[in-house]
Amino acid sequence: MTTLRRYLPILDWGRTYDRTAFSNDMIAAVIVTIMLIPQSLAYALLAGLPAQAGIYASIAPIILYAIFGTSRALAVGPVAVVSLLTASAVGQVADQGTAGYAVAALTLAFLSGGFLVLLGVFRLGFLANFLSHPVIAGFITASGILIATSQLKHILGVSAHGHTLPQMLGSIFAHLDQVNWITLVIGVAATAFLFWVRKNLKPALRRMGLSPLMADVLTKAGPVAAVVVTTLAVWALGLDARGVRIVGEVPQGLPPLTLPAFAPNLLGALLVPAILISIIGFVESISVAQTLAAKKRQRIDPDQELIGLGAANLGAAFTGGYPVTGGFARSVVNFDAGAETPAAGAFTALGLLFASLFLTPLVHYLPTATLAATIIVAVLSLVDLSILQKTWGYSRADFTAVAATIVLTLLMGVETGVASGVAISVLLHLYKTSRPHVAEVGLVPGTQHFRNVRRHKVDTRPHLLTLRVDESLYFVNARFLEDLIQSRVTEGCGITDVVLMFSAVNEVDFSALESLETINRRLKDIGVRLHLSEVKGPVMDRLETSHFLSELTGRVFLSQFDAWTALASEEHLNRAAE
């Protein structure tokens, strides 16, 4: 029963569902639905799919996530970055507008869903951690720029293509003579209006005396207003006949039952992009879910989240959708609007189902320029170049990772960009740990504390060299320590004892063990003893399984002060003996 409830969180919150929760969830659902209708159409367009795919991708996935997900406020559906990744991946195997393109998008959702479920079942959610915060921030910023740029062609009314910034800009410049001026007017007006709504409408409505809830609903309805006005304008003035591109025929009805394709070639070509989409989607989703859950002391189980998101994507694959994830904007809106349980999501799904059944004929004359405007306004809030400045001040390694991710994403495309970002951050981390901070320490007079001889006035003894190693010892830095001790001992005269202080050594792997054995042997050859101090329990447990401790020429001291005292009295005895 408990296991069942772990895998089906709906059994948890479902049992205590009451009237208050219901009405709160309903209000949230209405607000989110109003926001989602134009957004879903727009993101489908961004993914290169027919508009209805965005609506379909917001119905079954939301319901499946409500059953399997652990977040009470996360709103699942098409999001900007994943739509861009979809366009980039599917564009490599099929041409936009063909049946093959839509099937490839379903297959991508299927692969992504399957991969997420596998990760969840095998509890491998930690893999997402390889995306460092700077890499994610850089990637999201660069994606925002790419997405906004990709929409310029709709605003200008030209046909252009490309998946990198130079390709897109080049293609737009090449077609600049074909600009459709009516489209441009609609696009620029819609963009300006939406920016104004986002920035100024809510305070203005509040000043006019509207309740916060009403002000919020009206602000969220801004894109709907833009859609309605521009659609009416095109229909009334017959602008589609004058070259303004419109959404056109959108089929009316329930989401269709669809099947992804299982051709080995296609699966092979989409596998890596699917993994990338899964991990990026999961990272975006889990950060939102955790931030919202923390505000109410609720818990998110990351591995169960993988299963929830996986189920949502599998749902998308079989109902005419494309890859989905938990979106930042819609989840925050859902949370702020008072959603208490995943039922709010289910009601949103019902709202969108209603739209799919009855409202689609109304968007026939909707100009794509308006949808492009909603995308541009939404994604420009993702662009945050301040991360460059923040990391520059904090750490050059992190700055390098961000800058490389941004530049490579813009110039080489999303997949190369994010993969390079991960590789660079791993390499920089390994580089940092390959040359650990090692301090020669001495006794702070009057205490039992040992500090760096270069920073503090401390006592030292000529025959005793004590080194504090500030890093776990493993293969990447094992040889570094060998070299360091070798050079210290050959430089210093009269050293008879070397103590390695292990207070910050959290691991000693087999390479480091062999290095310690080598250091011990080499020091022995020249008559110097090697001691350890302050070795942690887990490290000691492991060293005890090896021969190292029995071969060690010196001793292992519980504390550095013990080592100091013991070796001092030995020295005293030796001198007395001489």
Residues numbered 294 to 323 that lie near a second copy (CB under 8 A) are 294-295, 297-300, 302
Helix axes 396-412, 386-394, angle to 10 degrees: 150
Which of helix, strand or coil describes residue 342? coil
Distance separating alpha carbons of residues 225 and 212, to the nearest angstrom: 19
Q: Which helix (H) or strand (E) holds 374?
A: helix 368-380
Helices of type H across 57-156: 60-68, 80-90, 99-121, 133-156
Distance separating alpha carbons of residues 426 and 539, to the nearest angstrom: 24
Amino acid at position 165, single letter: L
| Phi/psi of residue 200, nearest 5 degrees | -115, -15
From 41, 324, 513, 516, residue interacting with a second copy (rule: CB under 8 A): 513
Stretches 68-76, 175-183, 376-384, 504-512: which one binds a second copy (CB under 8 A)? 504-512
Measured CA angle at 328 (ends 24, 26), to 5 deg: 15
Stretches 107-115, 132-140, 321-329, 331-339: which one binds a second copy (CB under 8 A)? 132-140
| Least separation in angstroms between CB 112 and a second copy | 21
Amino acid at position 286, single letter: I
Residue pair 314/117 in contact by the 8 Å Cβ criterion: yes
Residue with smaller CB distance to a second copy, 353 or 513 = 513
From 24, 167, 395, 496, residue interacting with a second copy (rule: CB under 8 A): 395
Stretches 90-98, 273-281, 339-347, 474-482: which one binds a second copy (CB under 8 A)? 474-482
Stretches 86-94, 138-146, 538-546, 561-569: which one binds a second copy (CB under 8 A)? 538-546
> CB neighbours of 413 closer than 8 A, spacing ≥ 6?
88, 163, 164
- Please report whether residue 496 would count as binding a second copy according to CB under 8 A: no
- Please report whether residue 550 would count as binding a second copy according to CB under 8 A: no
| Least separation in angstroms between CB 451 and a second copy | 9
- Please report whether residue 348 would count as binding a second copy according to CB under 8 A: no
Stretches 16-24, 32-40, 173-181, 520-528: which one binds a second copy (CB under 8 A)? 520-528
From 470, 562, 570, 571, residue interacting with a second copy (rule: CB under 8 A): 470
| Least separation in angstroms between CB 551 and a second copy | 14
| Least separation in angstroms between CB 487 and a second copy | 6
Count interface residues toward a second copy (CB under 8 A). Answer: 76
| Least separation in angstroms between CB 521 and a second copy | 8
From 526, 550, 575, 577, residue interacting with a second copy (rule: CB under 8 A): 526
- Please report whether residue 553 would count as binding a second copy according to CB under 8 A: no
- Please report whether residue 555 would count as binding a second copy according to CB under 8 A: no
Residue with smaller CB distance to a second copy, 265 or 545 = 545
- Please report whether residue 482 would count as binding a second copy according to CB under 8 A: yes
Residue with smaller CB distance to a second copy, 161 or 488 = 488
Residue with smaller CB distance to a second copy, 482 or 571 = 482
Residue with smaller CB distance to a second copy, 145 or 523 = 523
From 112, 278, 515, 560, residue interacting with a second copy (rule: CB under 8 A): 515
| Least separation in angstroms between CB 387 and a second copy | 9
Tokens of 569: 């009295």
| Least separation in angstroms between CB 299 and a second copy | 5
456 class by beta-carbon count within 10 Å (0-12 exposed, 13-18 middle, 19+ buried): middle
From 96, 178, 381, 487, residue interacting with a second copy (rule: CB under 8 A): 487
Helices of type H across 157-263: 165-174, 181-196, 202-207, 212-220, 222-237
Q: Which helix (H) or strand (E) holds 351?
A: helix 343-354
- Please report whether residue 510 would count as binding a second copy according to CB under 8 A: yes
Q: Which helix (H) or strand (E) holds 325?
A: strand 325-326
Instruction: State the DSSP string of 104-124.
Output: HHHHHHHHHHHHHHHHHHTT-
Q: How far is CA 345 from CA 131, 136, 167, 330, 475, in A?
A: 28, 27, 39, 11, 49
- Please report whether residue 68 would count as binding a second copy according to CB under 8 A: no
Residue with smaller CB distance to a second copy, 318 or 480 = 480
Q: Which of 83, 8, 99 is nearest to 39 (CA)?
A: 83
- Please report whether residue 429 would count as binding a second copy according to CB under 8 A: yes
Q: Which of 85, 77, 86, 81 is nearest to 106 (CA)?
A: 86
Distance separating alpha carbons of residues 49 and 259, to the nearest angstrom: 16
Site for a second copy in 72-131 (CB under 8 A): 126, 128-131
- Please report whether residue 2 would count as binding a second copy according to CB under 8 A: no
- Please report whether residue 70 would count as binding a second copy according to CB under 8 A: no
- Please report whether residue 5 would count as binding a second copy according to CB under 8 A: no
- Please report whether residue 398 would count as binding a second copy according to CB under 8 A: yes
- Please report whether residue 400 would count as binding a second copy according to CB under 8 A: no
Residue 493: CA count within 13 A, CB half-sphere: 0
Residue with smaller CB distance to a second copy, 6 or 390 = 390
Distance separating alpha carbons of residues 220 and 202, to the nearest angstrom: 9
548 class by beta-carbon count within 10 Å (0-12 exposed, 13-18 middle, 19+ buried): middle
Q: Which of 459, 425, 128, 156 is nearest to 300 (CA)?
A: 128
Helix axes 343-354, 60-68, angle to 10 degrees: 170
Distance separating alpha carbons of residues 381 and 387, to the nearest angstrom: 14
Tokens of 17: 């569902």
| Least separation in angstroms between CB 509 and a second copy | 6
From 190, 270, 289, 478, residue interacting with a second copy (rule: CB under 8 A): 478
- Please report whether residue 173 would count as binding a second copy according to CB under 8 A: no
- Please report whether residue 180 would count as binding a second copy according to CB under 8 A: no
From 240, 509, 562, 571, residue interacting with a second copy (rule: CB under 8 A): 509
- Please report whether residue 578 would count as binding a second copy according to CB under 8 A: no
- Please report whether residue 196 would count as binding a second copy according to CB under 8 A: no
Distance separating alpha carbons of residues 390 and 399, to the nearest angstrom: 8
